[in-house]
Chains A and B, each alone.
Chain A
Amino acid sequence: GQQLNQSPQSMFIQEGEDVSMNCTSSSIFNTWLWYKQDPGEGPVLLIALYKAGELTSNGRLTAQFGITRKDSFLNISASIPSDVGIYFCAGRHTDSWGKLQFGAGTQVVVTP
C-alpha cells in the first residue's frame, strides 16, 4: 500500500530556533497539505501546495512541494512558544479521487 513517512517524530527546540520537518511518499502526490494541531483542538490547515517545485510561505512558515512529487518539507523560522503542537503532512495521490493520506505527525515542543 501507499506509504507516507513523516520525520522527525518529535522535536524539542529552544525559542528562536528554526524548525524543519519533512514527508516522503512511496508514490506520486498531486497535492501536499500541512496542518497544525494545537493541544486539545482539531488540525488546522497551514499551507496547501499544488504544483511540483512550488514554494509557499505563510508568515514564519515555508513549505515546498518536492520536484519529484514524492516529498514535501515545512520550515518554521524563529520559533515561538505558540508553535508548540503536532504538525501533520497530508497528500493526495494522483490516482485518488480526493482522499487525503496523513503522516504520523511531528510533535514540536518549544522551550523558552
Chain B
Amino acid sequence: EAQVTQNPRYLITVTGKKLTVTCSQNMNHEYMSWYRQDPGLGLRQIYYSMNVEVTDKGDVPEGYKVSRKEKRNFPLILESPSPNQTSLYFCACKRDPWTGELFFGEGSRLTVL
C-alpha cells in the first residue's frame, strides 16, 4: 500500500528541546515536502526536496531544518522549538517534482509549551 508515514503523530514538548519529526514514503517519489497547517492559514510550505541531497526553503522555513540523505526519508528538525511552532505538520511527496499531485501523510500534531 502506498504510504507516507510520519512519526510521532502527537507530541507535547517544551521550548528549546530539540525534536525531529520523521517522514518516510514507499512510493519511490522524487519530490518531498513539509507543510504546516494553522487555522485560517491553510497549508504553508516549510521546506521541500526535489531529489536526494537537494533541499530548499519554502514559504515559512524559519526555525526548521531538513535533510534528504536517501530518497524515502525526509525528516523535519526543530533545533530549538518555540511556542509559535505549535501546529499540525504534514509531510507530502509526489513522483515528478515539476508536475503531479501531492500525496500527504496523516499529520503530526506538535505542541510546544
Contacts and interface: CB of A to CB of B under 8 A. Distances in A.
Interface stretch (A53-61, A62-70, A76-84, A101-109): A101-109
A79 to B, nearest CB: 22
Interface in B33-79: 35, 40-45, 48, 58
Contacts, number: 51
Contacts of B102: 43, 45, 90, 100
A43 B107 CA distance: 9
Interface residues of B, number: 25
Contacts of A31: 99
B101 A104 contact: no
Interface of A: 6, 9, 31, 33, 35, 40-45, 48, 88, 90, 97-100, 102-105
Contacts of A6: 42
A45 B104 CA distance: 9
B42 A103 contact: yes
A102 B90 CA distance: 13
A102 B38 CA distance: 12
